[in-house]
């Protein structure tokens, strides 16, 4: 635990907002140093469009060896300077600091679990640490899917749900921007010669909101809207952004088709940009790994709460989307992701790391570290 907490403090003290490539690169340096010290060798450093990702391949190099992917990210949402108002602290069994819950503790757990596995002559583990998860993984998605392909399972070190609940489902995400082109005119002299983009925007917002279907968990939420230039001009341009969450691919496709079929009510031109981002992490992709996690927890004498389905997405959506069994929420127990009260409960870290290690061992079908083969 002393080593885990030391490593966690080092990472929290290196600020890594996703959009700042230099900060993410500095964070990657520290992750690489910690990993080299614990695992025994340096990672591959992969830079895509300026964003830094890290990869360790452990165990057998044989292509047919069973392999598990450990998936983490080292970027955070906290801007540079956040440590001044939210410093790292460890007090009364609680760790606080930017990114400690989402998801630096899970990252440190993954490093220590990988280091604890020892020699793997007939199996393999990949530890992939990406640098742009909080921005939607635009530069890392292909890498994630490449490393997940053919794996026995992908284990995602995102933070747990309340009370340590593992995550067996996540909604898929889609984002859209609807742009409206009208015609400007003087609002006082000749408004009738204009084509009011704001009026069209108001109409389309209502139409789009109607694409939601709460009965199947689909939310369609108009968010940012823009329109007009001056108070005395009929607005010629408008646009609005929309956040879509769905539990199934079928629902994502239904909503996408609805966006593509938008029709103007005023004669203004409508253009739709964006589309499906992360596919959903469907329960069918997690059930097998979830059962094995519960069995491992029983062997370790742990009590796991019921697993949950959440609206937020993670990189586990990508691994499940290509058909790889995936289990999410294996990281820290705590709360306050992205918020002032972000925190991690220290007392849960050892058991969670043991669960992660035992699950890797079970999935690979190898003897556990220091075991006589009891965990298979």
Kindly state the tokens that stand for 319: 């691994």
Separation of alpha carbons 290 and 168, rounded Å: 7
- Going by C-alpha positions, the residue among 168, 170, 242, 239 that lies closest to residue 212 is 242
Pure H helices in the chain: 2-12, 21-39, 82-85, 105-116, 141-148, 197-209, 249-260, 287-300, 316-321, 349-364
Residue 73: Cβ within 10 Å count: 30
Active site residue 75: yes
Separation of alpha carbons 248 and 244, rounded Å: 12
Active site residue 340: no
CA dihedral 180, 238, 279, 114 (to 10 degrees): 150
Q: Residues 6 or more apart from 78 whose CB is under 8 A from it?
A: 15, 17, 86, 98, 99
Catalytic residue among 15, 102, 133, 134: 133
Catalytic residue among 75, 134, 200, 315: 75
Active site residues: 75, 133
């Amino acid at each position: 635990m002393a080593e885990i907490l030391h490593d966690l403090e080092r990472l929290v003290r290196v600020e890594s907002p996703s959009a700042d490539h230099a900060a993410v690169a500095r964070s990657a340096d520290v992750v690489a140093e910690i990993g080299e010290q614990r695992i025994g060798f340096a990672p591959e450093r992969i830079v895509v469009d300026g964003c830094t990702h890290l990869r360790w391949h452990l165990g057998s190099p044989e292509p047919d060896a069973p392999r598990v992917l450990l998936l983490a990210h080292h970027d955070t949402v906290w801007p540079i300077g956040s440590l001044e108002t939210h410093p790292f602290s460890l007090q009364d069994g609680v760790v606080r600091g930017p990114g400690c819950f989402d998801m630096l503790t899970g990252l440190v757990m993954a490093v220590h679990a990988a280091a604890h596995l020892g020699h793997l002559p007939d199996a393999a583990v990949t530890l992939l640490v990406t640098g742009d998860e909080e921005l939607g993984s635009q530069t890392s998605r292909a890498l994630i899917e490449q490393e997940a392909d053919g794996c026995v399972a992908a284990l995602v070190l995102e933070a747990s749900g309340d009370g340590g609940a593992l995550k067996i489902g996540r909604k898929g995400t889609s984002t859209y921007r609807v742009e409206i082109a009208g015609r400007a005119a003087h609002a006082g002299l000749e408004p009738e010669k204009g084509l009011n983009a704001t009026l069209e925007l108001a109409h389309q917002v209502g139409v789009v909101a109607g694409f939601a279907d709460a009965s199947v968990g689909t939310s369609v939420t108009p968010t940012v809207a823009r329109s007009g230039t001056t108070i005395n001009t009929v607005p010629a341009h408008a646009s609005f952004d929309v956040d879509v969450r769905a539990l199934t691919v079928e629902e994502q496709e239904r909503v996408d088709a609805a966006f593509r079929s938008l029709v103007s009510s005023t004669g203004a031109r409508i253009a739709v940009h964006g589309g499906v981002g992360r596919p959903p992490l469907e329960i069918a992709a997690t059930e097998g790994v979830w059962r094995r996690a519960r069995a491992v927890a029983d062997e370790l004498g742990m009590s796991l709460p019921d697993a949950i389905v959440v609206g937020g997405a993670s990189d586990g959506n990508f691994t499940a989307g290509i058909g790889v069994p995936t289990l999410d929420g294996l990281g820290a127990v705590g709360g306050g992701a992205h918020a002032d009260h972000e925190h991690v409960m220290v007392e849960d870290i050892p058991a969670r790391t043991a669960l992660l290690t035992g699950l890797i061992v079970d999935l690979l079908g190898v003897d556990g570290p220091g075991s006589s083969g009891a965990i298979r």
